[in-house]
Structures are given as C-alpha cells and as structure tokens.
Amino acid sequence: MSATPARTIGVLGAGTMGAGIAQLAAQSGARTLLHDPIGDALECGLESIRAALARSAERGRLAPDDADAAAGRLEAAPSIDALADCELVIEAAPERLELKHELFGALESIVSERCVLATNTSSLPIAALAGVCARPQRVVGMHFFNPAPVMRLLEVVAGPDSDAVALELARATGRAMARHVIDAADGPGFLVNRCNRPFGLEALRLVSERIAEPEQVDRICRVGGGFRMGPFELMDLVGIDTGLEVARSFFAQSFGEPRWRPSPLTARMVAAGRLGRKTGRGFYDYRGGPHRPEDPELPAGGGGGAGPLAIIGGGVHAEALRAGAGAAGWTLADPERTSEEPAWLVVDCVGGALEDDAAWQSGPRVVLCAEGSLGMLDPAGSAVGFYTLPSSGLVELTRTQTSSALASQRAVEFFGSLGRLAEWVGDAPGLVLGRIVCQLANEAAFAVGEGIGTPADVDAGMRLGLNHPVGPLARADALGLDHVLELLEGLGEEYREERYRPAPLLRRHVLAGRLGESTGAGFHDPTPSAG
C-alpha cells in the first residue's frame, strides 16, 4: 500500500520537539499550522523555526529559495479550531497522559473523520491515548528523535487498533520529511528506546559492583566500542532525574521485568541533587573546565617477536588476534607440535583448562573472559583475564589475587603491540564492554522475538536515532551468536538472575546453526548476489 504524504499538517505544541517537527513539515512542502495554548510559546516557536531555516540557508544545507518557501508555508494557529482542515495532526505536548487525553478529545471534535492523529510520545503507550478516542484506528505514534531537524530517524508506532491507512500516511509523511522510517509495535519504549535500555542500566550495574568507575566505562565504550558518548555522559546530558523516571516507567509498564529494574545508584544521585549538566554536577563535574580529559592516544603497535606466542581457540576473537599478531611481527607457536619451548605468552580464547601438554602452554597466560569470570575460568591460577572486540582499539584486562605479575606485564605488552590501549577493570564475565554489547543484542533479540520490530529496523533505529556506531544485531552477527549466548550464560551462571536470561530467539538461532557472519546467516540473512 502506498499513500500520498499529508499536505496540511498541524503540530500541537511549540516547544523544542514541536518546533522541530513543524520545521520538517514545512520543509517537506506541506502547509504547516503550529498551535500552542500559550501565546508567547507559540511566537517563540515560530521565531525559532524561521531562525533555523535561515541558518540552514546560510550554511548551504538549504537553498535560500527553499528556506523562504518553507517559512512561507508555516502558519500560526492561535486556536486549536484552526486545525480543522488538517490531514494529519502531530501532538508534541508534555508527557502527561491527562493532558494528551484532553488534546485528543478536543481534536476529535474539530478535525474530519479522515484526519490522522499522531503522538510524538516516547514513553506513553499508544493504546492509552487511542483508548479515549471515538476512532482509535486513526491514532498512531510518530516518534521523532531530538533534535528532530537533525536526527534522521522516525519511528512509526502501531497501536492495537491503528489501521493500515493511518500508518501508511504517517510513513509517507515521514519519508517526505526526509526521515528514515522504521516500524514499531506498541510497548514500553517502542523499539529504539527499549533496545537501548542495557546501555545505561548495565553500565550502572558495573559501577555499583565496582567493576569500573563511570569515567572508565565511558572511555571503554568510546575507545573500545566506537560509541560517540559513554553511558554516563549520556545520562548527565539527558538528566539523571529524567532517566530515573523513564526507568521507573519501563519497570512499571512491564510489571517488574528484571532486565529493566531501575538502579539505586541513580536514585541516590537524584536525592543528592546531582542531576547532570543542568545542575552542574552528575556523574561528572561541569562547574569549571572540561568534565573529562581527552581520550589517550592508542599505542603505535608493532615490535612483536620477543618469543613464541600461542593463541589458542577459534572464533572471531582468536582469528583477529592471530592476524594482528602476525602483522605486529610475532612468531606463532604451532599447536600441532609438543616439543617447543615455553611460550612467551599464551592467549587463551577457549577459556577452559588446556588439554594438550605442549611445552609452550606452560608460559604466562591471558584468558578470554566470555563464558565466565577469570575467577571461575582460572580458580587460584596465575592467569590474567581479557576482553576486547575483534577490531577494537582497546583491551580490558582483569586480575585476581593470584594472577602473576609476569602475565600482567606481558598482556599489556602484547596488546600494545597490536595497537590496543589497556584498561584494567574488575572481574566479571565479559568485563565491561562484553556485558554491554551482549545485553544490547539480547534486548534487541527479545524485541524482535516479540514482534516489536525487525532486525533491520532495530539496527537502523539504533544507528540513526541514538548514534550507535553499529546496530546491536549486526554486531552480534559479527561476534558470533554462539559467543553472545555463551557470554550471557556465563553472566547467568555467575549471578543466577533472570536479568541475564538469553532471549529465546537468540537461543533458537544458535541451535539452528544461524551463528551470524561465520555461517552466512544470523539475525540478518546474507544479501543474494545479483544474477
């Protein structure tokens, strides 16, 4: 089904989001009517849109004639009655259910039966808004991301009664606004915000357990994971109080889903008045100078070859380390031979007891902490633990009371020769980044399995709506779904909590041999070759 985009669009609410949506509507070629019950707010919103269009023309993002034409299509609607001729009305009022009920009730008495009523809510169920309407089939979600003129994503959310005509009008209008449109079913956080829950919640758990400090978690996510901003910087930017309210809403709407349990750490921060940037202090201090130092330079790499190096195991981690070691000049021990000298370092990507008695296995050892913590994988042993993404510029290292100083020193030297910055953290399965990226993939797998969205829409939404460097399911396919499942099961074994239970769809994919890129199919199927 295809639809023509709405040509007359009303926007309810002239705040930051409402003004941004109205700007997109006017730029799309639609007659745009902006309403706010507060006259000063309406005038301020109109002026901010005109100023934004002028800046876009000055910076070459819009042709001057196009900017002028868009400004000409923008009209003030002093009264809600002025929206009577709209084909689509997008509500962008504050997130108060009673207020939105009042607005939707007023709109239904004004607009035609064919007018689609959309809400930009990011937290309230579409069902709760449509349920008070005489025609719930025309109510949909159109969730834009802030700032709307910059963020390229639009999430079109289907309520339980939304009909195909209303949804397709919303999609067509979003495409006319030059947004990438994804579909989501109604539910807590819809698709994108739901799938992002572990980014902050798992980071809070790591800090609460003293696995790492907030600035470490953020640095690991930026340098090791490619994220533009770490979770604690993001919490400070959004507002810790806002994040806590969102967490409480998720937890309440899900009737206590363990994966979405709010963190006591944020509650304490809010009680102390440390709400983030807006109060000058949150997880960082913003009251003078930069809130954090610049990320350190990565090691230059190279200089390997101090002795034979053993890399044990298969999978993407072992293969990436072998390739990096070869490029850095290391001599790799031959696993088929048993009479070689002890290895300078054994890099164990298997994580269990070594079965072969080759002499080179007696060297100092560093163990991939995926299926368990270092304490579980090498109890009372002298090894050091590590976790790194295959193409990362950072490696996390951990040690126990019995880890040897030699293993610690050589682990830093080895990973430095691969150009990877070393970050020492506490012990746990997956350390910091492994836990976060695998929990992101797991939440996305739950959402896909429950029919909230498709793998393609999950990944596009996380990249375009939240600036993730790669979608969580694409990253899971690259890591190997068996690796993701192994790490989650390691967390489950360590903590014995429902929080870490693997999504059924993830487990089914692994059982079916759909392991990701290594098998040609995972959450994403390979693209058929032309011809």
Q: What would the pLDDT profile of 205-231 be if each residue is shown by its tens digit? A: 999 999 999 999 999 999 999 999 999
- Provide the pLDDT for residue 268: 98
Name the H helices within 451-511: 455-466, 472-479, 481-495, 504-511
Among the residue ranges 357-361, 366-370, 469-473, 476-480, the one predicted with the least confidence is 357-361
The candidate with the shortest Cα–Cα distance to 147, out of 237, 16, 46, 302, is: 16
Residues classed as catalytic: 122, 143, 155, 193
pLDDT band with cut points at 50, 70 and 90 for residue 156: very high
Q: Could you tell me the CA-to-CA distances from 258 to 202, 247, 296 in Å, in that order?
A: 12, 12, 36
pLDDT score, position 445 = 98
Dig out the tokens for 529 from the structure: 């070759």
In 352-471, where does DSSP find H-type helix? 374-377, 405-417, 433-449, 455-466
For residues 227 and 238, what is the distance between their CA atoms, to the nearest angstrom?
Answer: 16
Q: Which pLDDT does position 417 carry in this prediction?
A: 95
The CATH fold of domain 8-186: Rossmann fold (3.40.50)
Nearest to 253 by CA among 157, 122, 448, 99: 122
Long-range contacts of 34-42 (CB under 8 A, 24+ apart): 34/10, 34/74, 34/75, 34/76, 34/77, 35/10, 35/11, 35/76, 35/77, 35/78, 35/79, 35/80, 35/82, 35/83, 36/12, 37/80, 38/14, 39/78, 41/14, 41/15, 42/14, 42/76, 42/78
pLDDT grade, residue 3 (50/70/90)?
A: confident
Q: Where are the domains of the chain?
A: 8-186, 194-279, 308-419
Instruction: Please give the model's pTM, rounded to 2 decimal places.
Output: 0.94
Residue indicated by tokens 């790669």: 470
Q: Is the peptide bond before 147 cis (omega within 30 degrees of 0)?
A: yes
pLDDT in tens, 42-66: 999 999 999 999 999 999 999 999 9
pLDDT tier for residue 348 given thresholds of 50, 70 and 90: very high
For the stretch 69-80, pLDDT in tens is 999 999 999 999
Which CATH number is 194-279 given? 1.10.1040.50
pLDDT computed for residue 307 by the predictor? 79
pLDDT one-digit tens code per residue, 350-397: 876 555 555 556 789 999 999 999 999 999 999 999 999 999 999 999
Name the maximum alpha-carbon separation found in the chain. Answer: 88
Q: How many CB atoms lie within 10 A of CB 134?
A: 10
Give pLDDT, residue 531: 34
Are residues 100 and 132 in contact, defined by beta-carbon separation less than 8 angstroms?
A: no
